[in-house]
């Protein structure tokens, strides 16, 4: 450490005006980069809300179909609806929301299902409390439970599955 040469720049500001000009230029560059990141995040959230609603519709429609039309017990209906909607959500999120390019889609799918199991358990508990303990309407309870789970889905998908650190598609 004693023999290290200090960093040298080709130009050091000599006057206060030069210093202020360089500082302003750096601040402007940072502001532009921050604006790009914020715009990308807003677009991603908008795509998630738009396309994510498709998997919500699949989930609730399948639950209603199995539970109300076919008379399947509500927890089994919830599991079947979950399988259909998770498969729909994986491909929609991967291709349309996060625009994730990957050499290993099945590994991504495994991680996706892994995080969705947590929200499935949350939803199953909400259904049990709402339907079995409080005698609420099954479909309305399903909508509430799935709404809470959907919030968790976004963050799990963004942070753990479709994290595009190596990819920067907007």
Q: Is residue 6 part of a domain?
A: no
> Per the domain annotation, does 170 fall within a domain?
no
Residue 101, in any domain of the structure: yes
Q: How far apart are CA 43 and CA 20, in angstroms?
A: 34
**What pLDDT, on the 0 to 100 scale, is given for residue 10?**
63
User: Is 167 part of any domain?
Assistant: no
Name the residue among 52, 4, 6 with its Cα closest to residue 150: 52
Domain that holds residue 130: 16-161
Which residue numbers in the chain have pLDDT < 50?
Answer: 166-170
| Domain tally, the chain | 1
Residues 69-81 have pLDDT tens digits of: 999 999 999 999 9
Burial class (CB in 10 A: 0-12, 13-18, 19+), 63: buried
Half-sphere exposure of 109 (CA within 13 A, CB side): 12
Task: Look at residue 26 in the predicted model and tell me its pLDDT.
Answer: 77
- Separation of alpha carbons 62 and 80, rounded Å: 7
Q: Is residue 166 part of a domain?
A: no
- Among the listed residues 143, 87, 151, 75, the one whose alpha carbon sits nearest the alpha carbon of residue 113: 87
Is there a domain that residue 63 lies in?
yes
Per-residue model confidence (pLDDT) at position 85: 92
């Amino acid at each position: 450490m004693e023999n290290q040469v200090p960093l040298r720049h080709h130009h050091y500001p000599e006057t206060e005006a030069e210093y202020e000009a360089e500082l302003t230029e750096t601040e402007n560059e940072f502001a532009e980069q921050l604006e790009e990141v914020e715009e990308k995040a807003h677009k991603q959230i908008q795509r998630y809300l738009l396309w994510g609603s498709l998997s919500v519709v699949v989930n609730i429609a399948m639950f209603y179909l199995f539970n109300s039309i076919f008379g399947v017990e509500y927890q089994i209906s919830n599991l079947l609806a979950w399988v259909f909607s998770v498969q729909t959500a994986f491909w929609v999120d991967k291709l349309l929301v996060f625009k994730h390019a990957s050499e290993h889609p099945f590994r991504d799918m495994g991680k996706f299902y892994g995080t969705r199991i947590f929200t499935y358990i949350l939803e199953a508990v909400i259904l049990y409390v709402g339907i079995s303990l409080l005698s609420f309407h099954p479909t309305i309870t399903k909508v509430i439970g799935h709404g809470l789970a959907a919030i968790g889905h976004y963050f799990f998908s963004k942070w753990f599955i479709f994290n595009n650190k190596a990819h920067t598609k907007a």
